[in-house]
Structure 1
């Protein structure tokens, strides 16, 4: 349940407007606490967001929007506010507000916004349309000097922690190959790797996630003991590319059956055969590439990597 202040902050609707929508138009009817304070449910928030979109994007008055909501509800009793999927504009607005809250180190507001996004859009949309673009945005602004090192670090940590929190939610399909996810020794940027590991977990693959700055000693034995079939490496530092490719060759020699996925701008420009193993970072455009890779893995046991070139901008 959410207070009127939280809802006002999340949806960028003044509290006085929320009260007017409730009293004059019966837009929503929030519950009341024992002290008489309004307590909004997630359904209330979804309805209010839909109503706001109708008034701002489609030009309806609030009374017209409420009437339309009731008409749609009467045709489908008990249904939620008609969403027709998560609108990209809504996700962009959520991402911008989340960025602003994190840039100002307003942790409570950022947590509330993220909670709202997960409740309304689900894991897939939040990861692909909010978190992944947010990481690219903060990386770009850090490189241009618009965001400080502390802001970049704080935002990255926030996204990483939220991703780890949902990592264990997805069930594992034992019929699928196991994956190992690492950043080679010296590489400390792991958010791109984490997003790809989440993609695999959502698909039911078990992922042994070792993350940033993984030492190479003992990897061959670990891969053999844990029956790893796919090794995912993420690299942002081009100067570490030669060492990373040497590690790939070492692992291939020890376990010829291994499949590799290389992501991150540090792998940009790699020669064959490594070029065919690269996947772009998760964006709207590259999401289909990830899906094609996974579909080929499921159908043939080894992805057809032809045409799957590129490099993730922020690994």
Structure 2
């Protein structure tokens, strides 16, 4: 919770504007201390930031922006959940704006648009509902020859930087086992792996993100040296499944207590056996899966 001085500093807004939007337009309802001083929650700040962008960047009147904000909060529960899913059409405008900037290789505008989206929406919404379908579209256009590999590499690099920034935001717990996240040799698609790494960091797991096309040579030794207890792998091609199983065998040989979480479109059949569990594609299922993993395989670092 933040007092109005801290809120004004974080939002770069005058305190009088915050009070006006609250009292005159009923934009937000902060909590109050016993002495009557305002206390603003993270959600209050997110709402005020969104309103600020609508007014200053998009030229919307504050009264209309507040109406839009309140309307979005009155949406049925099932509609509120939509932003957490892949490819939500509600964000088509944001996706297409980013795509046009990517197609023109305008990195300055692309980063500006990303900044805008992160200020307007929850970071998880940006990653799942805007960035994921954007990268899918870029991949399709690259396959069709509309975009070059240079376009794809440029945008992938920017997106990876954004993930890395968020990886550092979440504190990790020394009581949780260390995790290594990687794609086996030959696997270049790692967006899903970054999403799952972000999820683990949200849950305070210390994660070493290795990334795409990781060779097995030296990997078991590195995992032992870093005291890695869990390895996450992602494969998009079913033909890479035998290779993933080879990685599991060699890592298990080095550390019989190693546990594995494997996901991606290349896993057409579940791997729920022994020390390995299959991960589905949706964020909503990951927490349940992680809880199952903890119950079936106690995560002890002893």
Corresponding residue of 2:139? 139
Q: Judging changes above 3 Å, is the alpha-carbon distance between structure 1 residues 47 and 229 closer, same or farther for their aligned structure 2 residues?
A: farther
Matched, 1:159 2:159: yes
Corresponding residue of 1:45? 53
1:276-309 C-alpha deviation (Å, 9 max, x unpaired): 733234xxxx122212212334555559xxxxxx
Q: Judging changes above 3 Å, is the alpha-carbon distance between structure 1 residues 176 and 51 closer, same or farther for their aligned structure 2 residues?
A: farther
Q: Judging changes above 3 Å, is the alpha-carbon distance between structure 1 residues 268 and 118 closer, same or farther for their aligned structure 2 residues?
A: same
| CA distance in 1: counterparts of 2:163 and 2:54, whole angstroms | 23
Corresponding residue of 1:251? 251
Corresponding residue of 1:295? 291
| CA distance in 2: counterparts of 1:119 and 1:68, whole angstroms | 15
Does the 8 Å CA contact 2:171/2:201 hold for their aligned counterparts? yes
Corresponding residue of 2:9? none
Tell me the secondary structure at the aligned position of residue 194 of structure 1: helix
| CA distance in 2: counterparts of 1:213 and 1:100, whole angstroms | 29
Corresponding residue of 2:110? 110
Where structure 1 has 5 or more consecutive residues not aligned to the other structure, the ranges are 1-40, 53-61, 73-79, 304-315
Matched, 1:130 2:100: no
Where structure 2 has 5 or more consecutive residues not aligned to the other structure, the ranges are 1-48, 74-79
Q: Judging changes above 3 Å, is the alpha-carbon distance between structure 1 residues 153 and 268 closer, same or farther for their aligned structure 2 residues?
A: farther
TM-score between both structures, scaled by the size of structure 1: 0.64
Kindly report which structure 2 residues correspond to 1:79-98, keeping only aligned pairs within 5 A, or say none.
Answer: 81-82=69-70, 83-84=72-73, 90-98=90-98
Corresponding residue of 1:188? 188
1:137-193 C-alpha deviation (Å, 9 max, x unpaired): 222333344443332222222211221222211110222221111122233333322
| CA distance in 2: counterparts of 1:90 and 1:111, whole angstroms | 21
Aligned pairs, how many? 239
Tell me the secondary structure at the aligned position of residue 211 of structure 2: strand
| CA distance in 1: counterparts of 2:293 and 2:265, whole angstroms | 24
Q: How far does residue 90 in structure 1 lie from its aligned partner after superposition?
A: 4.9
| CA distance in 2: counterparts of 1:182 and 1:107, whole angstroms | 27
Q: Judging changes above 3 Å, is the alpha-carbon distance between structure 1 residues 49 and 297 closer, same or farther for their aligned structure 2 residues?
A: farther
Matched, 1:230 2:238: no
| CA distance in 1: counterparts of 2:120 and 2:291, whole angstroms | 27
Does the 8 Å CA contact 2:263/2:280 hold for their aligned counterparts? yes
RMSD (CA atoms)? 3.4
Corresponding residue of 1:150? 150
Corresponding residue of 1:306? none
Q: How far does residue 113 in structure 1 lie from its aligned partner after superposition?
A: 0.8
Q: How far does residue 136 in structure 1 lie from its aligned partner after superposition?
A: 2.2
